[in-house]
Amino acid sequence: MEINSLKTLYKSSEAVKKLASELQKKQSRIHLLGTAGSSDAFIAEAVASQIGGNYLFVLSDKEESAYFYNNLENIIGNKRGTTLLYYPASYRRPYQIEDIDNANIIQRTEVLSSIRKKRKNIMVVTHPEAIIENVVSRKNLAKNLHGFIMPKM
């Protein structure tokens, strides 16, 4: 079965329609249980395409979030109007602060910048280790740069 056929099947599902309806309620949070394979990513894409908006997907660990992100990336493809981002932890190994991964720092900055610009239809995938890290405020960053010019974000 093709991806587009599966996407259509999920979008027409009564369970997905009910889920989309629940998500339109103010301050709703959903926790999916019992999904198998890539079905969670198909459900996420189906709901997001029906009601739009911004989504944060927090999966249990780095590996699970990477698989989910990859599945979403394959399902969404080059769909215009949807931005899919991955928010990684800063460190190569959990809790090893001397082993920072610069590529991850750049990726984290891109995600935060997109959120700050209030873009529409953003899907962010992450895991607990990444979101518990502190992020410096723009004000404190500017205060500590002493004379450097801050680009507008």
What are the residue boundaries of the structural domains of the chain, listed by start?
Answer: 1-52, 53-153
Rounded to an integer, what distance in angstroms lies between the CA atom of residue 150 and that of residue 10? 45
pTM for the predicted model, two decimal places: 0.79
pLDDT digits (tens, 9 = 90+) for 29-43: 888 888 888 999 999
Name the percent of the chain lying above pLDDT 70. Answer: 84
Neighbouring CB atoms inside 10 A of 128's CB total 13
